[in-house]
Structure 1
Amino acid sequence: MKQNIRKKWIIMPESLPVVLRRCPKCGKKTEFGNSGKFRVNANGRLLDVWLIYRCMTCGTSWNMTIYERVGPDRLKQEEYRSFLDNDMHLAAEYGSSPAIFARNRAEWALASSGYTVQAVDTPVPCRHEGWDEIEIKLGGCITPRLDTLFAKQLGISRSQVKRLCGQEMIRCPQGKAEANARVRDGQEFYVRTSLEIGQGQEAMERASGDMGCI
């Protein structure tokens, strides 16, 4: 029998967070958008790296600190080159990091609550027969609810997801999953193999008579 492979759901916000701060030119708090550009400054033998934000009303710039007074040997050459090349993917990664926002004491907000999910196969085989395994990877400042995420991916309603969680047909390795909880980065879930994506209510009803235990 062919063994199933664990899947990873990579969840990314549809738009990058904006920073809310007082703009000296506008004279009020405005939204500052990620420009996708870095500023790298050499101060003697040390480097400063900032991600440049611009007021979405007047264009005034604000630099969010990525690295401060760091030795060049502490930066990977590939990352350093990406800073110099204004790599958009790196700008999106740092511009979606709650830790970076917290370090800069920056107030941020998502421009929209939408997100995309990319399902990819991992090299890791599923550990339990009859169950698919899903690993969550959050790629930014977004923490979707379990019921909303699984409804979207399985093609069923949120109320059906809630029922499946109650029946432990969608569950955590430790046991019952709470349908209204927020998913966390690195979290794992088990899903009955018969609940294939897109099968919806029909699949759920077929599986409901064949639950089994891990």
Structure 2
Amino acid sequence: MHLHVQKQWIITPANLPSIIRRCPKCGIKTEFKNSKKFRVNANGRLIDVWLIYRCSKCETSWNMTVWERAEAGSLDEEEYQGFLSNDPALAEKYGNDRTLFAGNKAETSAERPEYSIEERDTPFSCGLEYHMEVHVKIPAGFDLRVDALLVRQLGVSRNKIKTWCEKGLVFNQGNLLSPKTRVKDGMILQLKKEVLTCQTGDSIIQVK
């Protein structure tokens, strides 16, 4: 096991959250799947953007509001072009945005989204005070807590992660983290060397 090497964890959701709503055609609540397509309407200088969902049973569509009556100049030009071209990355970004779901009063599937993590070693060394440093890549809006990520990747308990955080051993670019902190794209997760001697019932840290 490398004690002082910076790694990269690339998180990829297996699927996007479904919306649960009553389908007017089916007459019952069904799953509406993210079509990864947008609808854009420009009326003068005002722009509306919707992400299109489709009923998994009959293909009836439902449009989730992404932008409503936004001033044309207020939208990032690259992103606007992405809406027009149905950029899959934007469909994933907004299709994972829990704040956007709440704003649309959209009920999401209770199933926890599955995801995979690709781990890569990099040629960069850790700072001398750290046991490991990890650069995290994650799609915008994907909901994942720091403790859940570390439990999965290090093979230790949530209780141990909580203890590390309480003892001030887990950071993001020098800023102390809570176990409940949401993982953000570009995070540099840092574990101080003291995690090697901070025992809470687990035997050793299993870094994959």
Q: Say yes or no: TM over 0.5.
A: yes
Aligned to 1:72: 72
Match in the other structure for 2:49: 49
Counterpart contact for 2:143–2:183, Cα < 8 Å: no
Checking the alignment, whether the CA contact within 8 Å between 1:10 and 1:137 is kept in structure 2 is: yes
Structure 1 distance, partners of 2:89, 2:39, is 16
Q: Distance in 2 between matches of 1:167 and 1:87?
A: 40
Q: Deviations over 1:158-181 (max 9, x none)?
A: 34x755764789932499988xx4
Superposition CA RMSD, Å: 3.8
State the structure with more CA Rg. 1
State whether residues 15 and 112 of structure 1, in contact with CA within 8 Å, keep that contact through their aligned partners in structure 2.
Answer: no
Write out the 4+ residue segments of structure 1 that deviate beyond 6 Å after TM superposition. 167-170, 174-178
Question: Is it true that 1:29 corresponds to 2:29 in the alignment?
Answer: yes
Mapped to 2, the partners of 1:31 and 1:202 lie a distance apart of: 43
C-alpha distance in structure 1 between counterparts of 2:176 and 2:39, whole Å: 47
What is the identity, as a one-letter code, of the residue corresponding to 1:39? R
Could you tell me which residue of structure 1 aligns to residue 169 of structure 2? 171
Q: Deviations over 1:131-177 (max 9, x none)?
A: 3233556533432562x5334323x3x34x75576478993249998
Moved more, 69-78 or 163-172: 163-172
- Return the offset for 1:117: 2.4
Partner of 2:199: none
TM-score by length of 1: 0.69
Tell me the percent identity. 41
Q: Secondary structure at the match of 2:99?
A: helix
Q: Shift in Å at residue 192 of structure 1?
A: 3.5
- Which blocks of at least 5 consecutive residues in structure 1 are unaligned? 196-200, 206-214
Taking structure 2 as the reference length, the TM-score comes to 0.71
Q: What is the aligned length?
A: 191
Q: Distance in 1 between matches of 2:63 and 2:13?
A: 22
